[in-house]
Amino acid sequence: MSLRSRTAPLLSAALAIFMYCGGEAAAAEGAPFRQSLLQAPPPVVQIANASPAAAPQPDFSLFEPFEASPLAELVKITPVPFDDRQFAFELLRDDQRALALALDDWSRAVPRGERRRQRAAIASLYQAHDFSPLWLTGHDWSPAAVDAAKRLRQAADDGLDLRSLRIPAVEAGRPQLADDFFLSEAVAAYVAQASGSRVDPRRISRLIGERPPLPDVAASLARVAAAGAGAGEVLQGFNPPHEQYAQLRTKLAEIRAGTALNAEDQFAAANPLDPLEDFSAAARKAERRKSLSGKAPASRMEAEIIANMERWRWLPRDLGDTHVEVNIPGFELTVVRGGSVAHRTRVIVGKEETPTPVFSNALRYIIVNPSWNVPQSIINKELLPKHGGDLSSLAKRGWKVGWSNGRLSVRQPPGEGNALGRIKFMFPNDFSVYLHDTPSRGLFSSQKRAFSHGCMRVEDPFALAEAVLGPGSGWSEERVKKLIGGSERYINLKEPLPIHIEYFTAYVDEYGQLKMRDDLYGYSARVRKELGLGG
């Protein structure tokens, strides 16, 4: 037997073993990597030197065709694509492996983007759950699944929109693994939407503060799934807990059920500051647009209420047992103590071109007889043009005019004619706004009180001082007024008092009546547009 015939079976076996043992590495790199290992090496560049003596030639060639041996035929197989997932899940039980593989397919079945990232977060929970279903007990739905699905079908009651998601029909029984995943996705979407994920307030305006952080997807899912027959209540709890939100939710249900006034009459009654502009024609156009787009019909009032419910999601869940609220479109300030309004007063807010910012903070101190450090924008746009670039007349009236860090600075001292009046309320913030008195008292008689550069002027500031300092503080309105004089006097609050500068064009008053106000800065229209409810 020649050397060629003796070595052929060994070479075939070695090649087969190489292909089998190298499969994992080759799979990691892909098919091109496997092919490159079997290609002939590049030619060797030889450098001419002294001619070597002729070497004895072998009586065979490794590259000549040879006859296949029985062993070679045995290992000559068609390569099967390597499934690294099967290898990764090899140690799992059969039921766990089946779920893991199905979950991997499901999580990759949507394009890259936010929805795929959410599915990846959901998949991580299943992995932490030992690749077991979250919503199944044996071969049927768990009590948590039944209750959660019921709440999901009521999502529209809270102005939420889950129509793009698949909510399994739990009443039909015989759930599949994929149904478990789809229910998880719908629950996660509800949690996110209820927490305010649909509209980023900074896309509406840079003068709106950040919303509270969104809850963790996996942790929220685990919490709902563990709630048993109370899963629906836990889900509902991700919506704002505030009384005004609940009242708007009730009004939304009344309008949809037809138990409220018809939308046209109620809008006109609730919104005297904004005359109804051919509502019937606008409604007909909106209905036609919605029928073409396949979106659920929504009246103008429905859309406005939903947009306001959405803005409640931007507020802290705990407003504070005692707190201050300023509603910009309502031109009103309230002090709330123990769930009841302890003080209410009119305010003047920023003009359309100089809006009052929307954010939450905390009142910390009060200044009686404040000085006014004139903002640079007012110096450049108003004072200098008004005085022909010469502010010496202001200096003659006692104003401090000078230069600071290369910029013109102007300061009005305390006094009767000070632009801030006799008192201001400080809550240090990035927007440099605050509450204050004003010498222009006549402006409070206007219905639409948008006259300021962004700060909020208070109609009865000394009564407000007594309200925010609180009972038992020893500071009555009369005592605060006794500090009026020619120099600044400070009163520190015992504890920081939460203050929320809000923007609500729809709210329910103390008599249970729905009130709607002019969209002063256009924020509500932008929110409606973001929600797909029309601009």
- Do 332 and 267 lie in one domain? The reply is no
| pLDDT tens digit sequence for 257-311 | 986 555 445 555 555 544 333 334 444 444 444 433 334 445 899 999 999 999 9
For position 435, which CATH number holds?
2.40.440.10
- Do 321 and 294 lie in one domain? The reply is no
- Do 385 and 254 lie in one domain? The reply is no
> Residue 176: which of 164, 189, 190, 166 has the closest Cα?
166
**Can you tell me the distance from the alpha carbon of 399 to that of 395, in angstroms, rounded to the nearest whole number?**
5
- Do 385 and 418 lie in one domain? The reply is yes
Is residue 361 situated within a structural domain? yes
pLDDT value of residue 385: 83
- Do 275 and 380 lie in one domain? The reply is no
Is residue 26 situated within a structural domain? yes
How many CB atoms are closer than 10 A to CB 288?
Answer: 10
327 in Cβ contact with 338 (< 8 Å): no
Using the CB atoms, write b or e for 238-261: b if 16+ within 10 Å. Answer: bbbebebbeebbebbeebeeeebb
Q: CA of 363: how far to CAs of 329, 430, 481, 487, 493, in Å?
A: 21, 14, 19, 21, 8
Is residue 187 situated within a structural domain? yes
- Bridge partners, 325 (sequence order): 334, 500
104 in Cβ contact with 181 (< 8 Å): no
> Residue 502: which of 338, 308, 249, 265 has the closest Cα?
308
Tokens 């104003």 correspond to what residue? 399
Is residue 42 situated within a structural domain? no
**Can you tell me the distance from the alpha carbon of 336 to that of 491, in angstroms, rounded to the nearest whole number?**
21
The HSE-up count of residue 127 (CA atoms within 13 Å, CB side) is 12
Is residue 41 situated within a structural domain? no
Q: What dihedral angle (degrees, nearest 10) is formed by the CA atoms of 482, 484, 487, 489?
A: 60
- Do 370 and 482 lie in one domain? The reply is yes
Say which residues have a Cβ less than 8 Å from residue 203's Cβ, sequence separation at least 6: 526, 530
Residues catalogued as catalytic: 436, 455
Tokens 């590495």 correspond to what residue? 25
Q: CA of 206: how far to CAs of 125, 352, 436, in Å?
A: 35, 14, 23
How many CB atoms are closer than 10 A to CB 408?
Answer: 15
**Can you tell me the distance from the alpha carbon of 415 to that of 11, in angstroms, rounded to the nearest whole number?**
104
350 in Cβ contact with 200 (< 8 Å): no
- Bridge partners, 507 (sequence order): 515
**Single residue among 186, 209, 236 that ends a domain in this structure:** 236
pLDDT value of residue 388: 76
List the chain residues with pLDDT less than 50: 3-4, 7-8, 10-39, 44-51, 60-64, 66, 68-69, 71-72, 74-82, 263-264, 273-297
CA terminus-to-terminus distance, the chain = 90
Q: Tell me which residue range forms the domain holding 250.
A: 244-309+526-530
**Can you tell me the distance from the alpha carbon of 166 to that of 147, in angstroms, rounded to the nearest whole number?**
16
Is residue 55 situated within a structural domain? no
Tokens 């397919």 correspond to what residue? 105
pLDDT value of residue 31: 41
- Do 327 and 435 lie in one domain? The reply is yes
**Can you tell me the distance from the alpha carbon of 333 to that of 355, in angstroms, rounded to the nearest whole number?**
16
Is residue 259 situated within a structural domain? yes
Tokens 């889900």 correspond to what residue? 235
| pLDDT tens digit sequence for 78-133 | 444 445 666 567 778 888 999 999 999 999 998 888 899 999 999 999 999 999 99
Say which residues have a Cβ less than 8 Å from residue 127's Cβ, sequence separation at least 6: 100
Q: Over 335-377, what HEC string results?
A: EEECCEEEEEEEEEEECCCCCCCEEEEEEEEEEECCCEECCHH
Burial of 333 (0-12, 13-18, 19+ CB in 10 A): buried
Provide the domain count of the chain.
Answer: 4
449 in Cβ contact with 443 (< 8 Å): yes
- Do 230 and 251 lie in one domain? The reply is no
**Single residue among 236, 252, 284 that ends a domain in this structure:** 236
pLDDT value of residue 289: 42
- Do 302 and 364 lie in one domain? The reply is no
423 in Cβ contact with 465 (< 8 Å): yes
> Residue 35: which of 44, 45, 22 has the closest Cα?
22
Q: CA of 171: how far to CAs of 139, 140, 150, 190, 490, in Å?
A: 13, 10, 10, 20, 65
Q: CA of 307: how far to CAs of 301, 311, 525, 527, in Å?
A: 10, 7, 8, 6
Q: What dihedral angle (degrees, nearest 10) is formed by the CA atoms of 303, 305, 307, 311?
A: 180
**Can you tell me the distance from the alpha carbon of 417 to that of 370, in angstroms, rounded to the nearest whole number?**
11
Is residue 51 situated within a structural domain? no
Mean pLDDT of all residues belonging to the chain: 83
- Bridge partners, 424 (sequence order): 367, 436
- Do 353 and 482 lie in one domain? The reply is yes
Tokens 């007909």 correspond to what residue? 284
**Single residue among 28, 50, 82 that ends a domain in this structure:** 82
> Residue 434: which of 346, 357, 351, 531 has the closest Cα?
357
Which DSSP letter does residue 521 get?
Answer: T
pTM here is 0.77
DSSP state letters, 112-166: SSHHHHHHHHHHHHHHHTTT--SSEETTEE-HHHHHHHHHHTTGGGGT---TTS-
- Do 161 and 65 lie in one domain? The reply is no
pLDDT value of residue 381: 84
- Do 126 and 175 lie in one domain? The reply is yes
| pLDDT tens digit sequence for 53-72 | 555 555 544 444 545 445 44
- Bridge partners, 491 (sequence order): 366
